[in-house]
Amino acid sequence: MGVDLGDLLPRTRISLEELSTKSIAVDAYNALYQFLAVIRGTRGEPLMDRQRRVTSHLSGLLYRNANLMELGIRLVYVFDGTAPAEKEIEIRRRMRVKEEAVVKYEEALKQGDLKAARTYAQATSRLRDDMVSDSKRLLTLMGIPWIQAPSEGEAQASHLAVKGDVWAVASQDHDALLFGAPRLVRNLTLSGRRKLPGRDLYVEVYPEFISLDDILGKLSLTREQLIALGILVGTDYNPNGVKGIGPKSALKLIREHGSVEAALRRLKEAHFPISPERIRRIFLQPNVTDNYRLYWRPADVEGVVSFLCGERDFSEARVRKAMEAVAKALAESEKKRTLTEWFVR
């Protein structure tokens, strides 16, 4: 879910070419769920190998990363660890949504409504441990570093950005901004057209750049007040927020009263399963680690081919074409960049 700040945030359309030479920490689970939702067949079924193992996530990692690496973008994937106890309500909600989507998907198939089936199928995605392990294996073979976060991946990715070890965080959610990331890039792992939820309408998807400093300046808020705004609207730790309060109303309340607690004293029927202070502490003092090293290595082309083609039934011609483009791009980058510049920490 993530915090929904609507149209309050100033954002700038950016081209992928403008991100060349930039290092970006990708919220891995966020990206993998995108691949699992979007990369599907006409009946809504995910891509699978001959052993019925899902490969949609691997396809997304291979081809999207190859495109980004060709442009000279340095990626780091950050994987979720153990979710905070405060997130239990949101996790249960997501499970219910998936279970309901499975029922609707199967019903749509029975009725022969493939369009509806594909829509419902996108909400049924589940990321299993073996899929995460396979994703890490592919990233390693592609020369892309990855980090295992102790808790929230988005918090760890934001920590890298705050320290200056990466330039920005890539995620569809806005939570990274509440975690203090100075820059957020949205739609990095998406491309082309995307269907609007519940509508027979498609829109072009472009990368967007959001600056934390620009947000705080435009809204005349401190970061703590931005977190307070998010708490009123609803976060992963209090999914329902305050009944009847949207982003604009929350902004007005925080501007007038300065804090969640002061704003709540003016509101009726405001119930929080978790205290605002506990939620605020998650964003201000997240569980992160400094035990990592970022090193971009040459891709193991034969290793990628052996894994994806030999074990997961990918087309060897397509995989080799993608990896050869990556290898060529990396070779050209090496001419412009010394080995020391590739080594970050």
Nearest to 20 by CA among 156, 136, 192, 185: 185
Residues 92 and 115 in one domain: yes
Local structure of residue 195 (DSSP, 8 states):
E
Q: Quick one: pLDDT at residue 239?
A: 85
More confident residue, 343 or 325: 325
Task: Classify the C-alpha dihedral 314-319-322-327 as positive or negative.
Answer: positive
C-alpha to C-alpha distance for 304 and 137, rounded to whole angstroms:
9
- Most confident region among 2-11, 53-62, 250-259 by mean pLDDT: 53-62
Within-domain flag for 301: no
**pLDDT > 90 fraction of the chain, expressed in percent and rounded:** 57
| Residue linked to tokens 């493939």 | 114
Helix (H) or strand (E) holding 211: strand 208-211
Within-domain flag for 313: no
Alpha helices in the chain (DSSP H): 28-38, 56-70, 88-110, 114-121, 129-141, 153-163, 175-178, 212-219, 223-233, 247-257, 260-264, 276-284, 301-305, 316-336, 339-342
Residues 252 and 236 in one domain: yes
C-alpha to C-alpha distance for 336 and 345, rounded to whole angstroms:
20
Pull the structure tokens for residue 307: 């894994």
C-alpha to C-alpha distance for 64 and 70, rounded to whole angstroms:
10
Lowest model confidence (mean pLDDT) among 70-79, 96-105, 218-227, 279-288: 96-105
- Say what the pTM is: 0.89
Residues 242 and 206 in one domain: no
Q: Quick one: pLDDT at residue 199?
A: 55
Q: Quick one: pLDDT at residue 105?
A: 74
Pull the structure tokens for residue 291: 């035990």
Question: Which of 287, 312, 334 is the C-terminal boundary of a domain?
Answer: 287
Pull the structure tokens for residue 274: 């978790």
Confidence of residue 166 (pLDDT cuts 50, 70, 90): very high
| Residue linked to tokens 């329902």 | 240
Residues 39 and 173 in one domain: yes
Local structure of residue 83 (DSSP, 8 states):
P
Nearest to 104 by CA among 123, 126, 120: 120
Exposure of 239 in the CB half-sphere (CA atoms within 13 A): 11
CA angle 196, 197, 202 (to 5 degrees): 20
pLDDT tops 90 at residue 3: no
Confidence of residue 292 (pLDDT cuts 50, 70, 90): very high
The model's pLDDT over 293-324, given as tens digits with 9 standing for 90+, comes to 999 999 999 999 999 999 999 999 999 999 98
Interhelix angle for 56-70 vs 28-38, to 10°? 110
Residues 207 and 269 in one domain: no
- Tell me the sheet residues that pair with 168: 24
Within-domain flag for 122: yes
Residues 243 and 97 in one domain: no
pLDDT tops 70 at residue 230: yes
For residue 227, CA distances in Å to 9, 14, 65, 177, 285 come to 13, 26, 32, 9, 12
* φ, ψ dihedrals at 148, nearest 5°: -95, 110
Residues 202 and 53 in one domain: yes
pLDDT tops 50 at residue 40: yes
Count up the domains in the chain and report the number.
2
Residues 230 and 167 in one domain: no
C-alpha to C-alpha distance for 246 and 147, rounded to whole angstroms:
34
Residues 275 and 188 in one domain: no
Residues 174 and 263 in one domain: no
C-alpha to C-alpha distance for 261 and 35, rounded to whole angstroms:
39
Within-domain flag for 308: no
Exposure of 295 in the CB half-sphere (CA atoms within 13 A): 8
Buried b (16+ CB within 10 A) or exposed e, 136-159: bbbbbbbbbbbbbbebbbbbbbbb
C-alpha to C-alpha distance for 9 and 275, rounded to whole angstroms:
26
The model's pLDDT over 183-197, given as tens digits with 9 standing for 90+, comes to 999 999 876 666 555
Q: Quick one: pLDDT at residue 200?
A: 58
CATH number at residue 283: 1.10.150.20
The per-type count for the chain, helices as H runs and strands as E runs, is 15, 9
Within-domain flag for 193: yes
Residues 234 and 277 in one domain: yes
Question: Which of 168, 202, 219 is the C-terminal boundary of a domain?
Answer: 219
The model's pLDDT over 232-245, given as tens digits with 9 standing for 90+, comes to 998 989 888 888 88
Q: Quick one: pLDDT at residue 63?
A: 95
Instruction: Quote the domain boundaries for residue 128.
Output: 9-219
